[in-house]
Structure formats: C-alpha cells, structure tokens
C-alpha cells in the first residue's frame, strides 16, 4: 500500500456513494504508464495511473497517481465543475519527494468578491483553522499563484509521514465532504453574463495550471516531452480541447 492510495480509495468510494458517476474519457496511452527514475543501483520503477469520472454537475473528476518507491509518491486529485455552476474547483496536490512532503489542499475559487467568499469560503473556515494547528503554513509560494487560492488554502510541509497519514488524510476527507455538500446544493446559473464569467474563470485557472504544472519536469524525465505535453493538455487540463470539440 502506497502513501496516497488510501486517499484515492476513500475519494472514489465517497464519490461513488454520493454521485451518479460516469467514466470520463482518458486518452489512449495515459491510463497507465511505467518508467524509471534514478541511475544504477538507485533506480526505482515508477508507475503513473490515471482515473477519470464525471457526474451531472461535475465536468471532470480526475486523478493522477504516481508511485515510485519511498522517495516519490504523488496524488494530484482535481474536480472541475460543469460550466453552468459557480462551484469552486476541488484541488489536492499531495507530494512526497526525497526532500519531504508538500501538501496543498483547497477549494479554489472562481471569484473573490464578498458574496462568493460568504457562499464557499466562510463555511470551511473553522475546518481550515482546526487543521492549521497540526499543519502549519508551508512558506512562500509564487505571487502569481495567489489569485487561484482561497483563504482556506491548506499549504503545508509536514515533517513526519505519520502527520500525512493522520492529519492530512483527515483534512482531505473533511474538505471533500464539504465540497460534496456544495455540489449537492448547487443550482445552475441562469444568467448568460455570469456563465461567461464562469467560463473565463475556468479558462484562466486551467491556462495557469497547465503552463505552470510543477509535475512537468518529473513527467518529462520519466516519459519524454511529447507524452508529457499531451498528458497535461489532453487530459489533466483539457478544457480548451473539449470546447473545440463542442464547437
């Protein structure tokens, strides 16, 4: 059992129980990919597995799970809502590298006005503050990234793996449960102007994430540049491709 497998198993079970999930297409060649990291006696086999689902209100629920021994464990789990809802994105980046653990967990907002924060941030604040005690702020992150995170952004660098297994896992569960409550309550946005603003916010977020994907270097070393760019733009952040297909 790898470090983040329980997170993935829990999420998929919860989503299956609460939503009518349908498969989301994963382009050929991306469901499972094997590679090797390191050299000589320090080589480790690395396996990247992809998962994709959708539901009535959620355009894409997807996960990339990288397993490469004790020094490389990654779970990137993101939920993109349908464009007719003002729901935030659910984002979990759970990363373990030789230098330690990097944890980013958030409901990433479409907008930053007071009404939006009251609707989607304030209900989560007490949960966020509960975990700050055990999972302190992880330090600086890029200035250009700040517009894409909420005041409940849980960004931390746990020193102990046990903290990942306990406090991070508990936070992941609580954030996901809270997100699914928002999904259950969400109503379609009827106003065309607001829908256009939602689309613009999705495009802005996905453009930033695709351009700045921190896994790009790792995937390029493992599987080559061509595979990596197609994986990022054709599956992980595929909105622009899907919009072209629709039009």
What pLDDT, in 10s, does the model give residues 12-41? 999 999 999 999 999 999 999 999 887 777
What pLDDT, in 10s, does the model give residues 81-97? 999 999 999 999 999 99
pLDDT of 105 reads 98
In this predicted structure, the answer to whether residue 234 has a pLDDT above a threshold of 90 is: yes
pTM here is 0.96
Per-residue pLDDT band at 106 (split at 50, 70, 90): very high
Per-residue pLDDT band at 247 (split at 50, 70, 90): low
In this predicted structure, the answer to whether residue 47 has a pLDDT above a threshold of 70 is: yes
Q: What percent of the chain has pLDDT over 90?
A: 88
pLDDT of 102 reads 96
In this predicted structure, the answer to whether residue 61 has a pLDDT above a threshold of 90 is: yes
pLDDT of 69 reads 85
What pLDDT, in 10s, does the model give residues 67-77? 998 879 999 99
pLDDT of 206 reads 95
With beta carbons less than 8 A apart as the criterion, state whether 63 and 15 touch.
no
Number of domains in the chain: 1
What pLDDT, in 10s, does the model give residues 188-211? 999 999 999 999 999 999 999 999
pLDDT of 1 reads 58
Domain range spanning residue 30?
A: 5-246
What pLDDT, in 10s, does the model give residues 134-180? 999 999 888 888 889 999 999 999 999 999 999 999 999 999 999 99
Angle between helices 169-185 and 122-132 (to 10 degrees): 180
CATH number of the CATH domain containing 125? 3.40.1500.20
């Amino acid at each position: 059992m790898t470090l983040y497998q329980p997170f993935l198993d829990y999420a998929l079970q919860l989503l299956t129980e609460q939503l009518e999930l349908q498969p989301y297409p994963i382009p050929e060649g991306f469901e499972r990919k094997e590679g090797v990291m390191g050299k000589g006696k320090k080589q480790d086999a690395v396996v990247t597995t992809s998962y994709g689902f959708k539901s009535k209100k959620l355009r894409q629920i997807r996960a990339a799970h990288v397993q490469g021994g004790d020094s490389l464990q990654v779970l990137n789990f993101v939920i993109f809502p349908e464009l007719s809802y003002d729901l935030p994105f659910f984002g979990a980046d759970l990363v373990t590298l030789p230098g330690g653990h990097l944890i980013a967990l958030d409901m990433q907002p479409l907008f930053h006005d007071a009404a939006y924060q009251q609707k989607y941030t304030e209900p989560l604040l007490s949960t966020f503050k509960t975990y700050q005690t055990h999972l302190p702020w992880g330090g600086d992150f890029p200035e250009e990234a700040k517009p894409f995170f909420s005041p409940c952004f849980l960004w931390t660098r746990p020193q102990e793996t046990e903290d990942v297994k306990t406090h991070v896992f508990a936070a992941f569960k609580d954030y996901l449960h809270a997100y699914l409550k928002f999904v259950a309550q969400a109503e379609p946005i009827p106003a065309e102007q607001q829908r256009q603003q939602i689309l613009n916010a999705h495009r802005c977020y996905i453009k930033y994430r695709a351009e700045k994907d921190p896994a790009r270097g790792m995937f390029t070393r493992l599987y080559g540049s061509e595979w990596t760019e197609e994986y990022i733009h054709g599956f992980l952040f595929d909105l622009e491709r899907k919009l072209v297909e629709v039009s």
